[in-house]
Amino acid sequence: MNIDQIKTWTLTVARTLAQYPHYYALVTLALLATVFFLFYNLGHYALWEDEALTAMAAKGAARHGDTSAWVGDGNLSAIRNGLHLDDHLRERATPALPIYLTAASFRLFGETPWTARLPHALIGLLTVALLLRWARELGGPRRLALVALLVLGNVSFWLFFRQCRYYGLSSLCTLAAAYGWWRWRGRRRDFVLLSLALLGLLCSQPIVYVAAGAALAVDWLGWRRGDFSWRELCALAVPQAAGVAWVYCCWNPWSTGFNGQYYDNGTPANDFCDTLTIFYWHLRDLNRCEFYAALPVLAALTLAWRARWWWVYRAVLAALVMTLMVSQCSTQFKWATTVADVRFNAQLIPLLLLVEAAGIALLCRRRWWLALTVTALVAFTNLGNGGWWLPEGARSTAWQFARELLTPPRTDPFTPTAAWLREHTPPGATVLVEPNADVYPLLFLAPRQLYVWQLDAHMRDTKKFGALDAKWFKGGPPPDYLVAFGAGQFEALRRALRDSPIPAQYELAARLDIWPAAIYRPELFWHSFTTVPAAPQRGAAVYVFQRLPPSAADGGGN
């Protein structure tokens, strides 16, 4: 770029800013708020269960170059009977790219909840920048301002980028793939952008990769068959086929317990009607979790034909196709829950924000101050989602989230429990945790204790785990400490202890008066913005038991 081009570009930007000062002020505010919403108090909460799985695998990758079930000081990480592990005890079910990004952060900055989430928050910055660029190209500065306001108030958008998981990466890669598809002109950079975005999505979350591929195929059949020659389609398909082959030679999830063993416990699989029900749940719960506001989206679908904004229908159809594919591919069981696994659709939020902005622009036409007012109501309240009829009621979710960041509540049971274990138990002490999934946040924060009995007794007869020590199997030597996240876990502990051949008795060593579940997950129907007090009288606390020595046990311990 020479000096004349720089002068021309500078003058163009200056004229645009002078013509639309209010709109660009809103965009600047959105960018500043992005830094606050993504990074402020990022490490306040401990990693919850799914985040901890990514972090455990990243620890192995940071230290050895590959994942391993062995982490910390000789600890085992084998959730759900090692479902995620292959025969070499390597993590292969959690997608690779989030693991290695987290591992790079660990190598550079140490192993803390903040560093675990840092790369995913940075990805959030890139996603906001790309989304605003696309909004500018779709509708100019005014549409850009509407999208900036909608991003500013979308709490689910921020929450999913604050997680050490695949959500942020899959959102960025899906948005980049959609943007590259929309801008397709057959140039070399178009090939590079679309191919890299799809391959990144494959390494971020294969289920979303399949869903995005289906959406692109439907869009091609419906609108773009004349835009691609067969040569161009082959040029796009060959890198994808090579990428799939390479990834699954190195990182094959079917080498784990997901390869036909997932239903070995007698769990009934979903039939076609079940998947349709789950599809409906997704549509319902995406609105409830404020991934999109139903009313502006309906307005866009109703009015877009008059303006000939066909991209609106294409975007909504792509979102429906992706949601349907996620419903078909998800491992969620209909009988086990009444809500959707909306986290598999976090990548739809940016696309649906564009549709919302289009609906508001069409509804308000050229009355842009009215459009900004309506956008603020949609962004900063849940009225556009039908808030009065939702279980949460009408509220300003954005205000509640901002208040949570400024004055964080006590909704993290893992940090105080891990602190107690570090302070009151010796290194190498054996600990049994119920529920089993809560082992992994503790394992990240207090790695010097040994978290035993992670595997059912029958797993000792398998090739994968046959060589492991008895302490890792239920019914092995009695653990030194028991941790129950809620009194409801007592029965699970009693059942497990009955299987031990060595009698043992325990006494209550500590009761931590904090709510025993991670109610800071990113799904809004499982997220609390305020402290939920413990209720020991109802068993809602964390209980730690210590094994009595044989002499005390003979004397009648509890």
The DSSP-derived string for 318-369 is HHHHHHHHHHHH----GGG-SS--GGGGGGGHHHHHHHHHHHHHHHHTT-HH
Q: Classify residue 55: in a domain, yes or no.
A: no
Rounded Cα gap, residues 475 and 497, in angstroms? 7
State whether 320 and 449 are in the same domain: no
Rounded Cα gap, residues 443 and 449, in angstroms? 8
Rounded Cα gap, residues 161 and 127, in angstroms? 10
Token code pair at residue 475: 């019914």
Rounded Cα gap, residues 422 and 9, in angstroms? 59
List the one residue out of 442, 431, 421 whose CA is nearest residue 518. 442
State whether 368 and 335 are in the same domain: yes
Q: Classify residue 274: in a domain, yes or no.
A: yes
Q: Classify residue 71: in a domain, yes or no.
A: no
Q: Which amino acid is at 369?
A: W
State whether 402 and 421 are in the same domain: no
Q: What is the pLDDT of residue 227?
A: 80
List the one residue out of 485, 544, 438 whose CA is nearest residue 46. 438
State whether 442 and 396 are in the same domain: no
Residue 533, domain extent: 414-554
Domain end call among 406, 436, 469: 406
State whether 218 and 286 are in the same domain: yes
Residuewise pLDDT in 10s, the chain (558 residues): 456 655 564 555 445 544 555 666 767 777 888 999 999 999 999 999 999 999 999 999 998 899 999 987 789 999 989 989 998 999 999 999 999 999 999 999 999 999 999 999 999 999 999 999 899 888 887 888 899 999 999 999 999 999 999 999 999 999 999 999 998 888 888 888 999 999 999 999 999 999 999 999 999 999 988 788 888 888 889 999 999 998 888 898 888 877 655 444 556 677 778 888 999 999 999 999 999 999 999 999 999 998 899 999 999 999 999 999 999 887 788 877 888 999 999 999 999 999 999 999 999 987 888 998 999 999 999 999 988 888 888 999 999 999 999 999 988 999 999 999 999 999 999 999 999 999 999 999 999 999 999 999 889 988 889 899 999 999 899 999 999 999 988 888 888 888 777 888 999 999 999 999 999 999 999 999 999 999 999 999 999 999 998 765 555 444
Q: Classify residue 59: in a domain, yes or no.
A: no
Write the burial class of residue 269 (CB in 10 Å: 0-12 exposed, 13-18 middle, 19+ buried).
Answer: exposed
DSSP-assigned beta bridge partners for residue 450: 430
Question: Is the omega angle on the peptide bond into residue 435 within 30 degrees of 0, that is, cis?
Answer: yes
State whether 202 and 283 are in the same domain: yes
- Number of residues in the chain: 558
Q: What is the pLDDT of residue 1?
A: 47
Token code pair at residue 11: 């003058």
DSSP per residue over 128-196, as a string? Answer: HHHHHHHHHHHHHHHHHHHHHHHHHH-HHHHHHHTSSSSHHHHHHHHHHHHHHHHT--S-HHHHHHHHH
CA 483 to chain centre: 26
State whether 340 and 390 are in the same domain: yes
Q: Classify residue 15: in a domain, yes or no.
A: no
Q: Which amino acid is at 40?
A: Y
pTM: 0.91
State whether 402 and 418 are in the same domain: no
Q: Taking each helix axis as running N to C, give the angle between helix 349-364 and helix 113-153, from 0 to 180 degrees, rounded to the nearest 10.
A: 20
CA 473 to chain centre: 30
- For residue 17, give the H/E element and its range: helix 3-19
State whether 255 and 300 are in the same domain: yes
Rounded Cα gap, residues 503 and 481, in angstroms? 14
Q: Which amino acid is at 362?
A: L
Domain end call among 343, 377, 406: 406
Per-residue burial over 507-535, b if 16 or more Cβ lie within 10 Å, else e, is eebbebebbbbbbbbbbbeebbbeeeebe
Please tell me the total count of domains within the chain. Answer: 2
DSSP-assigned beta bridge partners for residue 510: 544
Instruction: Determine phi and psi for 511, rounding to 5 degrees.
Output: -125, 120
Q: Classify residue 353: in a domain, yes or no.
A: yes
DSSP 8-state assignment for residue 200: H
Q: Classify residue 13: in a domain, yes or no.
A: no
Rounded Cα gap, residues 57 and 287, in angstroms? 33
Q: What is the pLDDT of residue 15?
A: 53
Q: Taking each helix axis as running N to C, give the angle between helix 21-39 and helix 113-153, from 0 to 180 degrees, rounded to the nearest 10.
A: 150
State whether 391 and 439 are in the same domain: no
Contact in structure between 165 and 50 (CB atoms under 8 Å)? yes
List the one residue out of 152, 164, 406 whose CA is nearest residue 290. 152
Q: Classify residue 465: in a domain, yes or no.
A: yes
State whether 351 and 494 are in the same domain: no
Which residue in this structure is represented by tokens 């997932």?
262
List the one residue out of 287, 519, 520, 530 whose CA is nearest residue 389. 287
Domain end call among 352, 372, 406: 406
Residues 6+ apart with CB under 8 A from 64: none
Strands 481-485 vs 542-547: parallel, antiparallel or unpaired: antiparallel
State whether 145 and 229 are in the same domain: yes
Rounded CA Rg of the chain? 26
